[in-house]
């Protein structure tokens, strides 16, 4: 089964150790959630996996092959917490990456259509992306990433500040997309992690302190800090 | 009838009847300002892209310098360029002084800081996260830059229009480097100055109507063409 893995991954920003010897594995056809308080290193981990930042140490493997940032960008795509839209239509936005890959226009059309269908935005193709609501923009951002059909989908806090209806559509699309790819989800929304995840990883101050299936993670965590985090009492 | 009203009526008459001299001066002005603006774009846009999208030592100083040069007095620039282009000057060999090419070169230098500063501002105002987004969607370094340039398109266009307007409406460079020679280097601004000095108010007003008309029409057209993204 294909997977994305890290071995001894570290990231240091001046005096801040954002990630410290992180070893994680996210297999295909599963949603692997990375949970933790703000500043625990979730976004840094995802940015390194997306090839957007260089680690200070450690390695990343895709399907057991060590890969650098350029290769990672070819394997992965990422949806950010704050959705950023290109000027132009929803279609232009979702087609952007496909056009860079020089896909044929018929193929682009078809993949845009099915990606938009996955996030319930059929018929939105001609709408100006920046005039949509923030929830709709986040759905466009997810469709834009899904349209590329990359092996790994990295999703950073996708439903932060969204209303329940948009959050539900996004969660459903993430779950659906995990059937055919590796999904790594960063969230501090524990009910969401519980609903979506096949595996949950707790990051605390840049270190993995707990990794388990949701049933065990949320009911009988082995690490005291995870217990406190679930109870909402973890200091940071 | 007072002289101003009489001047306005005669000016309208000159424009409506298509006075040959008025229109040849306007055409030369347009030619010189369009050439100087386009030529300045050739280096100004890459320079602004480098200033906005790259990091290098002294970047803030370079930006500050271009910002400061926006307000350079045209007469002072005209004087320096005159010294460079005059027969005894370092560029005298090319014999550009008192030719349209001389004015084009002078105006090029005049509008470069405008294009660089305004375009840099426009490029810097593009959401920095957009670069990261383009990278995750498979864009190469150049494709990321292209995406940022596309987002800043209207800002860069406005910078170019501002540069054109500055070139089209300036007097100092055209006077010092062109010499206001009839049928050769006489442009709208130098002609207005000359005709006013001669007491030919009607012709001056006609020329100023054309000058203002072109500047305002261009700005209005750009604003109308600009659609919200």
Residue B202: strand, helix, or coil = helix
User: Does the pLDDT of residue A232 top 70, yes or no?
Assistant: yes
User: Does the pLDDT of residue B2 top 80, yes or no?
Assistant: no
Average pLDDT of chain B?
93
Structure tokens at B69: 């040069």
Q: Tell me, yes or no, if B137 comes closer than 8 A to chain A by beta carbon.
A: yes
In this prediction, residue A205 carries a pLDDT of 93
Name the minimum distance, in Å, from the CA of A126 to any CA of chain B.
12
Instruction: Give the residues across from A89 on adjacent strands.
Output: A128
Q: Tell me, yes or no, if B133 comes closer than 8 A to chain A by beta carbon.
A: yes
Query: A15-26: per-residue pLDDT in tens?
Result: 899 999 999 999
Contacts of A72 in chain B (CB under 8 A): none
User: Does the pLDDT of residue A55 top 80, yes or no?
Assistant: yes
Nearest CA in chain A to B139: A100
In this prediction, residue B7 carries a pLDDT of 77
Q: Tell me, yes or no, if B139 comes closer than 8 A to chain A by beta carbon.
A: yes
Judged by phi (left if over 0) then psi (alpha if -120 to 50, else beta), residue A29 lies in left
Nearest CA in chain A to B137: A97
What's the rounded Cα separation, in Å, for the pair B182 and B203?
A: 14
- Inter-axis angle of helices B20-53 and B188-198, to 10 degrees? 130
In this prediction, residue A188 carries a pLDDT of 86
**B150/A100 Cβ within 8 A:** no
- Asked if residue A142 is part of any domain, the answer here is no
Residue A37 belongs to what domain range?
Answer: 3-84+151-230
What's the rounded Cα separation, in Å, for the pair A140 and A131?
A: 12
Would you tell me which CATH number, out of the four given (1.10.10.60, 3.40.47.10, 3.40.190.10, 1.10.3720.10), belongs to the domain B3-219? 1.10.3720.10
Phi, psi of A19 (to 5 degrees): -135, 140
- Asked if residue A188 is part of any domain, the answer here is yes
Contacts of B155 in chain A (CB under 8 A): none
User: Does the pLDDT of residue B228 top 80, yes or no?
Assistant: no
Q: Tell me, yes or no, if A148 comes closer than 8 A to chain B by beta carbon.
A: yes
Contacts of A130 in chain B (CB under 8 A): 229
Q: Tell me, yes or no, if A87 comes closer than 8 A to chain B by beta carbon.
A: yes
User: Does the pLDDT of residue A99 top 90, yes or no?
Assistant: yes
Instruction: Find the mean pLDDT for residues A36-59.
Output: 95
Number of domains forming the structure of chain A: 1
User: Which of the residues B128, B138, B141, B155 would you substitute to probe the A interface, choosing the one with the greatest number of A C-beta atoms within 10 Å?
Assistant: B138
Contacts of A86 in chain B (CB under 8 A): 130, 147, 150-151
DSSP H helices, B74-200, are: 74-85, 100-124, 129-136, 141-151, 153-169, 172-173, 188-198
In this prediction, residue B145 carries a pLDDT of 93
Q: How many residues appear in chain B? A: 229
In this prediction, residue A20 carries a pLDDT of 95
- Asked if residue A175 is part of any domain, the answer here is yes
Phi, psi of A196 (to 5 degrees): -95, -25
**B147/A86 Cβ within 8 A:** yes
Average pLDDT of chain A?
94
In this prediction, residue B217 carries a pLDDT of 92
Name the minimum distance, in Å, from the CA of B49 to any CA of chain A.
19
What's the rounded Cα separation, in Å, for the pair A146 and B65?
A: 45
Instruction: Find the mean pLDDT for residues B156-160.
Output: 96
User: Does the pLDDT of residue B60 top 80, yes or no?
Assistant: yes
pLDDT band at B229 (very low <50, low <70, confident <90, very high): low
Query: B12-26: per-residue pLDDT in tens?
Result: 888 899 889 989 999
Structure tokens at A8: 């001894």
What's the rounded Cα separation, in Å, for the pair B46 and B153?
A: 14
Contacts of B136 in chain A (CB under 8 A): 50-52, 73, 76-78, 145
More confidently predicted of A110 and B8: A110
Name the minimum distance, in Å, from the CA of A217 to any CA of chain B.
31
In this prediction, residue A235 carries a pLDDT of 65
- Please give the share of chain B, as a percent, with pLDDT higher than 70: 98
- Asked if residue A235 is part of any domain, the answer here is no
Q: Tell me, yes or no, if A229 comes closer than 8 A to chain B by beta carbon.
A: no
Query: A130-153: per-residue pLDDT in tens?
Result: 999 999 999 999 999 999 999 999
Query: A113-132: per-residue pLDDT in tens?
Result: 999 999 999 999 999 999 99
Instruction: Find the mean pLDDT for residues B132-151.
Output: 94
Structure tokens at A233: 């009492």
In this prediction, residue A236 carries a pLDDT of 61
Contacts of B227 in chain A (CB under 8 A): none
Candidate from A45-59, A77-91, A177-191, B10-24 with smallest mean pLDDT = B10-24
**B229/A73 Cβ within 8 A:** no
**B151/A50 Cβ within 8 A:** no
Name the minimum distance, in Å, from the CA of B146 to any CA of chain A.
12
Q: Tell me, yes or no, if A31 comes closer than 8 A to chain B by beta carbon.
A: no
Name the minimum distance, in Å, from the CA of B229 to any CA of chain A.
5
Q: Tell me, yes or no, if A54 comes closer than 8 A to chain B by beta carbon.
A: no
CATH number, residue A184: 3.40.50.300
Find out whether A39 and A236 touch, Cβ atoms under 8 Å: yes
């Amino acid at each position: 089964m294909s997977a994305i893995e890290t071995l001894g991954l570290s990231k240091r920003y001046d005096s801040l150790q954002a990630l410290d010897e992180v070893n994680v594995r996210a297999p295909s056809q599963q949603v692997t959630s990375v949970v933790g308080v703000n500043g625990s290193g979730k976004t840094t981990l995802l940015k390194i996996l997306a090839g957007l930042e260089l680690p200070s140490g450690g390695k990343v493997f895709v399907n057991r092959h060590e890969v650098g940032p350029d290769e990672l960008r070819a394997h992965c795509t990422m949806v950010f917490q704050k959705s950023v839209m290109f000027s132009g239509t929803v279609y232009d936005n979702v087609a952007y990456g496909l056009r860079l890959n020089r896909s044929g226009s018929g193929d682009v059309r078809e993949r845009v259509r099915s990606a938009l269908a996955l996030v319930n935005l059929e018929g939105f193709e001609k709408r100006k992306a920046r005039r949509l609501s923030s929830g709709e923009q986040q759905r466009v951002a997810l469709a834009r990433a899904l349209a590329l059909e990359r092996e790994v989908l990295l999703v950073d806090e996708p439903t932060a500040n969204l209303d329940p209806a948009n959050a539900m559509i996004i969660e459903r699309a993430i779950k659906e997309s995990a059937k055919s790819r590796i999904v790594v989800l960063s969230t501090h929304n524990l009910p969401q992690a519980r609903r979506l995840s096949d595996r949950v990883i707790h990051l605390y101050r840049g270190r993995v302190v707990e990794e388990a299936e949701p049933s065990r993670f949320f009911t009988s965590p082995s690490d005291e800090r995870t217990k406190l985090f679930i109870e909402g009492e973890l200091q940071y | 009838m007072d002289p101003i009203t009489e001047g306005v009526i005669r000016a309208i008459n000159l424009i409506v009847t298509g006075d040959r001299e008025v229109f040849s001066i306007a055409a030369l002005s347009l030619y010189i300002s369009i050439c100087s603006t386009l030529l300045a774009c050739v280096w100004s846009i890459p320079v602004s892209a480098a200033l906005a999208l790259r990091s290098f030592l002294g970047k803030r100083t370079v930006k500050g310098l271009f910002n400061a040069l926006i307000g350079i007095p045209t007469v002072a620039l005209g004087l320096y360029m005159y010294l460079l282009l005059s027969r005894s000057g370092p560029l005298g060999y090319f014999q550009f002084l008192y030719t349209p090419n001389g004015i084009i070169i002078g105006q090029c230098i005049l509008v470069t800081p405008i294009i660089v500063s305004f375009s840099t501002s426009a490029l810097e105002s593009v959401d920095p996260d957009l670069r990261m987004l383009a990278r995750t969607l498979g864009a190469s370094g150049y494709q990321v830059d292209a995406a940022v340039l596309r987002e800043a398109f209207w800002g860069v266009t406005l910078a170019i229009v501002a540069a054109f307007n500055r070139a089209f409406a300036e007097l100092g460079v055209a006077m010092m480097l062109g010499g206001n020679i009839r049928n050769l280097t006489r442009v709208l601004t130098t002609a207005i100055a000359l005709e006013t000095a001669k007491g030919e108010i009607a012709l001056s007003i006609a020329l100023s109507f054309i000058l203002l008309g072109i500047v305002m029409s261009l700005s209005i057209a750009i604003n109308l063409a600009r659609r919200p993204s």
